[in-house]
Chains A and B, each alone.
Chain A
C-alpha cells in the first residue's frame, strides 16, 4: 500500500504536468480560435481606405500589436483560470482520502494532500497530509466522523478557494432537517430543556424560519406599500411583528456552533439534505458535505401539488401559474396581481379560499377580476357541512370573488398571452394568471436512503405516538403521519400542529417520551364576517350536529376585536399570532341577512357517536372546552347539553 502511494506521488506531478499542458493547449486553441474572428473584421476595416504604403504599415503594426496584446492577455487569464480550476479539482478529489482519516489533532486540516498542492498560495502542509496511511490504522468504527468539511480551527490565510463546506460543522448533537415552523418549535424546545444545547437547522430555503399563515392572510391586508420587503403585519392587538420567528441576531453562525460555550441555534440556509445514513448517524448535503448527528428531526414539510393538466400544458402555461407556499411565492403573486386584469384560483380549501378573499378585496383597488373554481359544491366543501359551506360561499362572493363551483379542469392552454381554462362541463374561463391551491405533497425524499416507512393512506413518514420514526430520528409537522392516541393515525397540515408537534419532538429528543396528547387547533378567517376555530377531525363526510344562536352585529371577528381590544383568538401554541384580518381595515360590506343566519355556534363532528372534531363558528376564546371534550372521547346522549358548555350567547 505504501508503495502504491509513493509511486502515485511520483507519478502525480508528472501526470498533472502533462495533462495540464494538454489542457492548456486545448484551451488556448479553443480560445484563440474563438478570438480570431473578432479580430478579422477589425483588420478588414482597417484596410478600407486607400492610404499610402506607410499608413498601411502603421495600420498593420497597430493591428498586430493589438492582436499580440490580446493574445498575451488571453493566455495569462486562461493560465490563471486553469490553475484555479486545477486546485479546485484536487481539493475535491482529495476529499475521499480525508474521509478515511480520523479527526486528527493536527490543527490545519483543510489542506488537500500536499503532493499536488504545490500551486496553492497557502503554506502547503508537508507529506503527512498526503499520507493518511499512518493515521488510517483504526478508523473509529461506529462514529465515522467526517474530517472533510472542516471545522477550521485555523483557517488557511489568504486562500481564495475556500469551499463553502468549511463553514459547516461536521458534527452536531441535534440536527433538524427543514427550517419551518415545526423545526423552530423543536429548536426552542431543545434549548429550553437541554442547557447549552447545540442545534443545527438545515434548510434549502434562503430564509430563516418564518410563520406561514400571514402569507395568505394578514400580509395581504397591510396598508404598508413595502410589505413585500418588510414582511411585517399587524396583529389583533395592533402591534406589528415580522413573520420571522426571530431576527437574525437570535441565531449563531453555523461555523461557531461547535465552539459556542452556551450552545445555540444555527441555521444553514440554501442547503438540501439529499441522503441519510441511519446506521452511521449522518446525512449528506447537496454539496457533498457530510454532517453527523446524535439526534435528528425531519421536518421537511411539503411541496404544493399541481394539477396534471397544468403540468402537461407546457411552459407558457406554467409560467403563468403560481404554486403558493413560500415567501417568494407571496412576493411574486403580489407583484403579478398588480399588473394583470384577471386571476383564477383553482382550489376551494383553506388556502384557495383565503387567497381568493385576500385578492378579492384588492379587486376594486386594482380593477382585478378574481375567479375561484373548485370541484366541490361550495367553499371548504370538504371541511364544512353542506349548509355551512353554502353559506360561506355566499360570503366569499360578497368579498368580490367570482365563484365557479363544481368545476373540473379539463385542459389549460395559452392563447394570445391569455390563459384559457376548459372545464369538463364545457365552460370556458379566460384569465391572465392561475394560482393552484390543490393540496400539499409531503416531502419524503429521504425515506429511501434512510429506510423510513412512508404511509400509504395519508402520505408522509410513518411515526409512532411519540413522533419517532426510528432510533434517534423523529418527524414533526406536515411531513409526519403520526399515531394520535385519541383520534387514530393522521397527518395534519396546520400551523398550530407544526408548533405542537415540533415542540413535542424537541421534548422527546431530550428524553421526555411523551405521546401526542395536546390536541392542536386551527383557524380561518374568510372576510370580516366569517371566522372560525376548529380542533380535531373536521371532515364534512362525518355526521354533524350544529348548535347555533341567532347572531347580532356584535358577533363577528371584527366586532369582537374592536370591543374587547384583547385577543379574541384562542392561544395556539408558542408561535401563534392569530388575528382578525380586518382589525385595521376598511368597513365591511353590508351583511346580507339570510333566512337561516348561521351567525355563531358550535358544530360537532361525530364518529361512532363520539365527538372527534369541533368547529367554533364565530365564537372565540372557548378552545380549551372544545379540547377537553375531544380528549374525554365520551359518548354524549344530547349534544345540545354539551353545547351549553360553550355559552354561545355570551361574548
Chain B
C-alpha cells in the first residue's frame, strides 16, 4: 500500500510496485506531428532533410558539410532501383574531403558510413555512428531507428 506524508508544503508518497501496476488515468494531450514549433526529426513533414537534426551531429556543418549534403540529398531523392547508384561521384567527393580531415572523420568510420549510407534509406541508422571527436550525439542516438514522424523520439537515448 502506498504511504503518504506531508512536510509543510511538500507531499511525499511512497509506492510499491503493485500500487503502480494499474495503468495510469492521467490524460496527455495528443501530439501533433506537424507542429512547427516542435523539434523535427531527420525528415521534415514536407519530405526534406532536416540538416539541423541533432542526430546528424556535425556532419552537415563541418568542413565537408557541403559535400555531405550533396551526397546525402542525392541519395535521399534518388529514384533508381538501386537507391543512390547515381550518386557515386558525390559520395566519392565526400570521402575525399573527409580523408583530408582525419581528426574529424576517423578512417574506420568512413567505410561504415559509405556502405551504410548506400544500403539504407534515409532512416537514422544510416548515418555514420558519431565519434566523440565530431562531438555528435552519443552513439546510442545513431542506433535508434527513429520514427521520424514522432519528433520527441529523436531526443531519446536508447
Contacts and interface: CB of A to CB of B under 8 A. Distances in A.
Interface of A: 187-193, 195-196, 235-237, 239-242, 245-247, 249-250, 252, 262, 264-265, 385-387, 503, 506-507, 514-515, 517-518, 542-550, 566-571, 573-577, 596, 621, 623-624, 627-629, 632, 634, 636, 638, 640-645, 647-649
A640 B26 CA distance: 9
A574 B57 contact: yes
Nearest to A262: B66
7 contacts: A246-B133, A385-B7, A387-B10, A546-B13, A573-B54, A621-B157, A641-B26
B155 A623 contact: yes
B11 A546 contact: yes
Contact of B10 (A191, A386, A570, A628): A386
A168 to B, nearest CB: 21
Interface in B13-72: 13-17, 19-20, 22-29, 36-39, 51-52, 54, 56-58, 60-63, 65-66, 69
B11 A624 contact: no
A643 B69 contact: no
Given A566-B158, A643-B13, 15 more contacts: A188-B58, A192-B56, A192-B61, A193-B51, A195-B65, A241-B133, A514-B36, A517-B39, A544-B9, A549-B14, A577-B138, A636-B27, A641-B26, A649-B17, A649-B20
Nearest to B102: A249
B121 interface: no
Given A195-B69, A566-B140, A624 B155 contact: yes
Contacts of B15: 547-549, 640, 643, 648
Contact of A628 (B11, B134, B152): B152
Contacts of A641: 24-26
B57 to A, nearest CB: 7
A640 B104 contact: no
B10 A640 contact: no
A247 B157 contact: no
A124 B89 CA distance: 50
Nearest to A575: B135
A642 B12 contact: no
A543 B63 CA distance: 50
Contacts of A241: 132-133, 135
A574 B103 contact: no
Contact of B152 (A249, A543, A624, A645): A624
Which one of B2, B36, B133 has the greatest number of beta carbons of chain A within 10 Å? B133
B16 A549 contact: yes
Contacts of B103: 247, 249
Closest 6 CB pairs of A and B: A241-B132, A191-B61, A644-B24, A192-B51, A517-B37, A567-B157
A240 B13 contact: no
A571 B26 contact: no
Contacts of B25: 638, 641
Given A235-B138, A548-B12, A549-B15, A187 B28 contact: no
Interface in B121-142: 132-141
B135 A387 contact: no
Given A517-B38, A567-B158, A570-B156, A645 B26 contact: yes
Contacts of B36: 514
B157 A569 contact: yes
Interface string B81-115: 00000000000000000000101100000000000
Given A196-B66, A250-B58, A387-B7, A647 B12 contact: no
A628 B20 CA distance: 20
A337 B50 CA distance: 47
Contact of B52 (A193, A542, A621, A638): A193
Contact of A515 (B37, B58, B138): B37
B14 A571 contact: no
A518 B140 contact: no
Given A195-B66, A543-B9, A567 B138 contact: yes
A549 B17 contact: yes
Contacts of B39: 517-518
A574 B156 contact: no
Contacts of B37: 514-515, 517
Contact of A250 (B12, B104, B158): B104
Nearest to A239: B132
A237 B17 CA distance: 30
Nearest to B51: A192
A252 B61 CA distance: 13
